Structure 1
Amino acid sequence: MTEPSTRPGRPVRMVLTPRTARPPRVPLLSWIHRRPEFRAAVRDAAGQGGRPGFSDAVIIAVVAQGLLPGLFNLVQSWVDQQRTEVSIRIQVGDAEAEIQVNGRTDPTKLLDQATRALREAADGEAGPTA
C-alpha cells in the first residue's frame, strides 16, 4: 500500500535554490515561467530569507505531482545552460527530502530519485510498527 505522504494526488512543495558564481544569463524563475503551467505555482521567495552564497533568488513551487517531470526537465535544461547546480528541497505531506541537480544529473531519473527520497523520508518518520 502506498504511504499517504507519497500519494500521486498530493501537491508537492519545493524550494529551489540555484548556485551560480555570477549572475545567470536567464534567471531560473524566468526560465521556468516560460511554461504557462508553472507561472502561478512557482514564485520568488523574496522576503522569506534567502541563503548566503546563492546569487539567484530562492524559488518556491507548489505543484501537482504530475507536473514534476516537466519542472525537472526545465530545471535540468537551465542547469545545463548555466553550467551550475540547483538544490531542490521537496516536501509532500510530512515527508521531506533534498536532491541536487547538476550537469551530471539525468533528468529522466530525477523523478525516481525524488520519489525514492520522499518514500525513505516517510518511512523514517513512521518508525517501526508493532
Structure 2
Amino acid sequence: MTESFAAARLPVRLTINPRQRQPPSVDLLAWIHRQPEYRPVVRQAGGGGGRPGFSDAVIIAVLAQGLLPGLFNLLQSWVDQQRTEASIRIQTGDTEVELQVSGRTDSARLLAQATEALRAAREPGPDTARELGAGAAREPGADAVD
C-alpha cells in the first residue's frame, strides 16, 4: 500500500463555518447531502456558539481524506451560488489547519493546500510543521484565482 493511498484513508475532521449575511437560498448541509456519500459523514454541529460574524450553521464532517475533493467542490459551488464565504478547520490527529473559502477560491488549490499542510504537519519534527501548514493555508491571496 503506498503512502499516499494510506494517507487518503486516514480520517479527517472538518468544521465548516459558513459566513452568511442573510439566510441562504439553500442550506449548506442540504447542499452537501445532495451527494449520498456525504450523508452519513457530514452533520450539523450541535449547540451553535460560532465565532462573531459566522452563522450558527456549523457543520462537522469526519471522513477519509479521499472524500475531500468532492466535499471541497460541493462547498465551493455553494459559496459561489450564495456569494458568501466559509472557513474550514481541518483536523487529523494532533494537526489542525484552517482554510478560508471565498468566491475566488479554486477548489483544486484548496485541496492542494489542505493536503500539503496536513502532510507537513504529519512529518516528524518540531511543532513548526503545524505552524507552517496553517501559515501557508492562510497566506493572503494564496487561494485566489486571477
Q: Structure 2 length as normaliser, TM-score?
A: 0.77
What corresponds to 2:96 in structure 1?
A: 96
| Correspondence list, 1:49-88, <5 A | 49-88=49-88
Give RMSD over aligned pairs: 2.2
Q: Could you tell me the percent identity over the aligned residues?
A: 65
| Correspondence list, 1:1-130, <5 A | 7-47=7-47, 49-123=49-123, 126-127=125-126
Q: Which amino acid aligns with 1:71?
A: L
By how many angstroms is 1:56 displaced?
5.0
Q: How many corresponding residue pairs?
A: 125
Native 8 Å contact 1:19 1:84 kept in 2 = yes
Q: Which amino acid aligns with 2:68?
A: L
Q: Structure 1 length as normaliser, TM-score?
A: 0.85
Using a 3 Å threshold, how does the CA distance of structure 1 residues 83 and 56 change in structure 2: closer, same or farther? farther
Native 8 Å contact 1:11 1:65 kept in 2 = yes
Structure number with the bigger relative contact order (C-alpha 8 A, sep ≥ 6) is 1
Unmatched 5+ stretches in structure 2? 128-146
